[in-house]
Structure 1
Amino acid sequence: MSKKGGTVCVVRGCLNRTTKKDITLLRFPKDAERANRWILACNREDLIDKTPIQLYNNYRICALHFEDTMFTNPLRNRLLPSANPTIFPQAIKRLRNVEGNIKAIAPQSSSMQDSSIPSTSKMLDMPAMINTPLHIDIDESTGLPPMTSPMSTQTAMTLTSNSPRKEKLRKKVKELRRQSIAYKRAVTSTKKKSTLEDLDKLCEQFLPESLADLVKMQARLTNAKPKERRYSMKYKEFALSLYFLGPRAYKFLKKLLCLPSKRLLERMTQKII
Structure 2
Amino acid sequence: MKLMPIVGAVALTLSLAACEKTPTGQVVAVVNGEEISLQELNAELQGQQIPENVDRQLVMNQLLQRVIDRKLLAQQAAEQGLDRDPEYLSQQRRMNETLLVQMMGQRAARAIRIPPAAEVDKFIASNPQMFNQRTRYALQQLQFEAPANMQTLQPLEDDRTLDEVAATLDQLGIRYQRGQSVLDSATAPPELMQRILALPEGEPFIVPAQGKLIANVIVGRQVTPTPAEQARPAATQALQRQSLQQTIERQLATARQGAEIEYQSGYSAEAAKGKAAPAAGATNRAATPGS
TM-score normalised by the chain length of structure 2: 0.21
Which entry has the higher C-alpha Rg, 1 or 2? 1
TM-score normalised by the chain length of structure 1: 0.22
Compare relative contact order (CA 8 Å, sep 6+) and give the higher one, 1 or 2.
Answer: 2
